[in-house]
Copies of this chain bind each other. A is one copy, B any other.
Amino acid sequence: MTEDRLIELFRRIAKHPPTSLRVGIGDDAAVVRPAGAREDWLITTDLLLEDIDFKRGWSSPAQLGHKALAVNLSDLAAMGARPRLFFVSLGLPSECGVGWIRSFYRGMTTLGGRWQASLAGGDLSRSRSGILISIVAAGESTRRKVLLRSGASPGDLLCVTGTLGKAAAGMSLLEVGRVRGRSAAECEALAAHRTPEPRCEVGHWLARRGLATAAMDLSDGLSTDLRRLAAASGVGATIDATRLPVFAESAGWGCDPVRLALHGGEDFELLFAAPAPRLSQLMRRYPRSFPRVSIIGSVTGQRRIQWRPAPNAPLQSLEPLGWDHFR
């Protein structure tokens, strides 16, 4: 049983959606159209558990608050929504007192404030078994334009924002006890793991201009997430290892940058597809202040996910070796 099969099960369970639900299970967020509303509202939720999704000693409470909200804002970003509200449910062991709670909320509200997302409610419970965080975030579309996972067509080019494998490179440092970076590259990798920046501005820009045919955020690793985007669109994909925006510096501490770019999770960069002519238009107008975009491959008509490890090497199957809670 994999996570994707469970999601398929839930999709069958939720077979009679109300008319206000435009998009339900299977995309980054649900899309709700309240009767009469000018915009669609997007709602997403993520669960973070201690020792599964994070380790307490690896981040400060404020960093943990930042990250917990960031992973939710990233889902909204992937669909082009502007964040509006969030709800936080916390299960806390007794050693997390008021000081811990204040710092955690400061981390969340500082990030939320940057993207106009306000705390609107939540729930609190004591926990006998570690910290658990459940966040719901709601955002608004712009002119009802929403980026789905399902619109990619054969021939579209595949793009990603920023650098891939940087958060995983940071985690590899934490795994060997290096909680403070000794170089700029190490600090950058640790920050990518601890305080990822959701790509709200890019997602919103892409959606508003209607330049992408499909998009999602990279939370579980490119090899796992690309397969999801392709499945939702009913297509295949080929990517080119030499075009991946890898975090080459991680080789300095024993990582394989290409492997981390393919399978490392939690980069929270955006993956999107666009037809070649539209993409050149996109690249011309793309603001310089935004994280760079790299073309990493293309969408194919055969429902296979493949990659080319080197310029003249034959195509190989790209196995989904990213994160899966249930594999």
CB distance from A151 to the nearest CB of B (A): 19
- How near does chain B come to A295, taking the closest CB pair, in angstroms? 31
Whether A47 contacts B125 by the Cβ 8 Å rule is yes
Query: Which of B30, B44, B118 is A17 in contact with, Cβ under 8 Å?
Result: B118
What total of chain A residues lie within 8 Å of the partner, measured CB to CB?
68
State the CA gap A36–B105 with chains docked (Å): 31
Chain B residues in 8 Å Cβ range of A129 = 128-130
Q: Is residue A9 contacting chain B, with contact meaning CB distance below 8 A?
A: yes
The answer to whether A119 touches B14 (Cβ under 8 A) is yes
Is A178 at the interface (CB under 8 A from chain B)? no
Complex: how many Å from CA A138 to CA B41?
12
Complex Cα gap A101–B5 (Å): 12
**Cβ distance A107 to chain B, nearest Cβ, rounded Å:** 11
Kindly state whether residue A53 has any CB partner on chain B within 8 Å: yes
Which residues from chain B contact A6 at a C-beta distance below 8 Å? 98, 101, 124
In the bound complex, do residue B45 and residue A121 qualify as a contact, i.e. CB atoms below 8 Å apart?
A: yes
CA distance A140 to B37 in the complex (A): 13
Contact (Cβ within 8 A) B128 A325 = no
Residue A116 at the B interface, CB < 8 A? yes
Identify which of A49, A51, A119 gathers the most chain B CB atoms within 10 Å of its CB: A119
Separation in Å of the A57 CB from the closest CB of chain B? 16
User: Which chain B positions have C-beta within 8 A of A91?
Assistant: 47, 49, 52, 132
The number of times this chain is found in the oligomer is 2
Contact partners of A290 in chain B: CB under 8 A: none
Q: Which of A18-26, A207-215, A311-319 contacts B (4 or more CB under 8 A)?
A: A18-26
Cβ of B16 and Cβ of A118 under 8 Å apart?
Answer: yes
A32 to B16 Cα, complex, angstroms: 25
List the B side residues contacting A97 at CB < 8 Å. 1
A48 partner residues in chain B, CB cutoff 8 A = 125
Q: How far is the CA of A51 from the CA of B140 in the complex (A)?
A: 38
Min CB distance A69 to B, Å, is 13
Contact with B along A113-126 (1 / 0, CB 8 A): 00010111111111
- Knowing A30-B121, A120-B14 are in contact, say whether A85-B21 is a contact too (CB < 8 A): yes
A34 touches which one: B41, B124, B325 (CB < 8 A)? B41
Contact A120 B34 (CB under 8 A): no
Among A120-164, those with CB < 8 Å from B are 120-130, 132, 134, 136, 138, 140
Q: Which 7 A-B residue pairs are closest in the complex by CB-CB distance?
A: A129-B129, A134-B134, A37-B37, A36-B38, A14-B119, A34-B37, A47-B89
- Besides the contacts A20-B140, A45-B134, what 13 more A-B pairs have beta carbons closer than 8 Å? A10-B119, A24-B120, A25-B120, A30-B121, A36-B38, A37-B37, A43-B85, A45-B89, A46-B89, A47-B90, A49-B125, A129-B129, A129-B130
Contact residues of A with B, CB < 8 Å? 1, 3, 6-7, 9-10, 13-14, 16-18, 20-21, 24-25, 29-30, 32, 34-39, 41, 43-49, 51-53, 84-85, 87, 89-91, 97-98, 101-102, 105, 109, 116, 118-130, 132, 134, 136, 138, 140, 325-326
